[in-house]
Amino acid sequence: MRRGYRNTREPTIALINIVFLMLVFFLVAGTLARPLERELRLVQVGDLEGVAPADALVILPDGAMRWRGEVVEDVTGFVAAQSEAGRVRVVPDRDLPAADLVRIGRALRAAGAGQVVIVTERGL
């Protein structure tokens, strides 16, 4: 009498396909973020928590400001154009003098920004 042999296959091919699709998803999702300015060197801090810069105001060492690659001349117009009311993310260059950063932060607050978040190297 012949016993019936049941051919059971493990679903390894399906598992490999799922892992591959997840890999492709994370590769694509990681490249969709807008790159920062090339000449920008970020501030370093030890233990502070940061917020990822979705649409951040980039401040270069000479005090020039850029948002989404465009030059920002007027902080009042910049704050008014923000979609996230009350919160402005700032990415300063490491060589920007602290006095300039404080001055720009105060100008943003005076223009109507409820919260000014400074993004640092660890926060990214």
Contact indicator for 50, 119 with CB cutoff of 8 Å: yes
* pLDDT tens for each residue of the chain, 124 residues long: 566 666 666 678 888 899 999 999 988 877 666 667 777 777 776 655 544 455 788 888 888 888 877 788 888 877 877 756 578 888 888 888 888 888 988 888 888 888 888 887 764 4
Residue 112, sorted as left (phi over 0), alpha (psi -120 to 50) or beta, turns out to be: left
Tokens encoding 20:
């591959």
